[in-house]
Amino acid sequence: MKEIIRQLVETTGPSGYESDVRALVKKMLKGQVDSMKVDALGNLITRKGKKSKDGLTVMLSAHMDEIGIIATHIDDNGFVRFTSVGGVFPRNTAGGRVRFLKTGQVGVIGMESHKNQSSVPGLEKMYIDVGASKRSDVKVSVGDVAAFDRPFEDLGTRLVSKAMDDRIGVAVLMEVMKQLKTTPHEVVGVFSTQEEVGTRGATTAAYGVDPDLGIALDVTLTGDTPNADTMAVSLGNGPAIKVKDGGMISDPRVVAWMEAGAKRARLPYQMEVLTGGTTDARSIQMTRAGVPVGCVSIPCRYVHSPSEMVDYGDVQNSVKLLLALLSKPVQLR
């Protein structure tokens, strides 16, 4: 599974520009699912299994996009001004490298002279240095999109990449769709677009799928680093079952069902309460007349930075938990 993760995270796909990631997922899932289609927003919608009398239409959603930047202006000296595509934090940005999708141009993010070394200026005070001395030398145009450029690193039990959010969820969903052999449900695996700019892909996908139950697969923060904000999630302690985040409250029946499933399968798990941020589950929950939802979260350090870190055991146990949950009828009480 590590090789699949490496290929996914090293394929670029900022919000709205997920086509290369989608093509890779389609290639890897060919012959492994009952059907695949791409909708108007670029979501890849896969299906497996048929809905029995005791079954449901279950939508699993993991987003393909990553955060990035977009060029807004190029000055006479060849420096490129930019703004964010998704939640780009200035503190994680200066000194980073980006690669533009259209031309492959690489640049380094610099910032204007800043007297106060204890604070970080906003993105409006930053620029991209592509090594040019004048505007005509720049192989970038206004409106060109770039992704952060860092290699995947395998540290054994820990994996590091600039795009674990949410390619690790994509990897988990791919494994679930491949390994799921027997289920009473119609399982719809949605590889969604534009999550980082407002869970847009999942909004339209959920409307089309019209599920009976929705589960998002995404990363969550941890509280296990020095002086971290208090949070009862740590790397290596298993997948996290989301209770609440900044945009959504999981259906308590879904939370109880997930927790019981983890205990029955003797899998490690954690309970997650995230004070900010949200996932595709929010959009699924709000579709049509409403859908009961939950979320399986992969603990991740340094989210929205060039070096997001996950635990490989948590990844594998996320797959096992979802397979255990989907192999039996769902009873929400």
Going by C-alpha positions, the residue among 280, 151, 259, 117 that lies closest to residue 205 is: 280
Model pLDDT for residues 16-49, shown as the tens digit of each residue: 999 999 999 999 999 999 999 999 999 999 999 9
Residues 141 and 264 in one domain: no
Residues 189 and 212 in one domain: yes
In a domain, 154, yes or no: no
Contact predicate 108/147, CB 8 Å = no
Model pLDDT for residues 182-214, shown as the tens digit of each residue: 999 999 999 999 999 999 999 999 999 999 999
Residues 253 and 239 in one domain: yes
Between CA 188 and CA 39 the distance in angstroms is: 14
DSSP 84-145: EES---GGGTTT-EEEETTT--EEEEEE---S-TTS---GGGEEEE-S-SSGGG----TT-E
Note the pLDDT of residue 331.
Answer: 86
Find the catalytic residue in 66, 175, 186, 195: 195
Model pLDDT for residues 153-184, shown as the tens digit of each residue: 999 999 999 999 999 999 999 999 999 999 99
Residues 82 and 216 in one domain: no
Residues 198 and 258 in one domain: yes
CATH number where 129 lies: 2.40.30.40
CATH number where 252 lies: 3.40.630.10
Residue 257 belongs to domain spanning = 2-66+162-326
Residues 205 and 277 in one domain: yes
Is 195 an active-site residue?
Answer: yes
Between CA 76 and CA 99 the distance in angstroms is: 21
Counted domains in the chain = 2
In a domain, 157, yes or no: no
In a domain, 155, yes or no: no
Q: Is the pLDDT of residue 268 over 80?
A: yes
Residues 228 and 322 in one domain: yes
Would the pTM count as exceeding 0.75? yes
**Mean pLDDT, rounded, of the chain:** 96
DSSP state of 245: -
Q: Is the pLDDT of residue 333 over 90?
A: no
Note the pLDDT of residue 190.
Answer: 98
Q: Is the pLDDT of residue 117 over 80?
A: no
In a domain, 211, yes or no: yes
In a domain, 132, yes or no: yes
Residue 79's SS3 state is strand
Burial class of residue 302, CB neighbours in 10 A (0-12, 13-18, 19+): middle
**Worst-scoring range by mean pLDDT, 11-15, 226-230, 238-242, 265-269?**
226-230
Residue 198's SS3 state is coil
Residue 72's SS3 state is strand
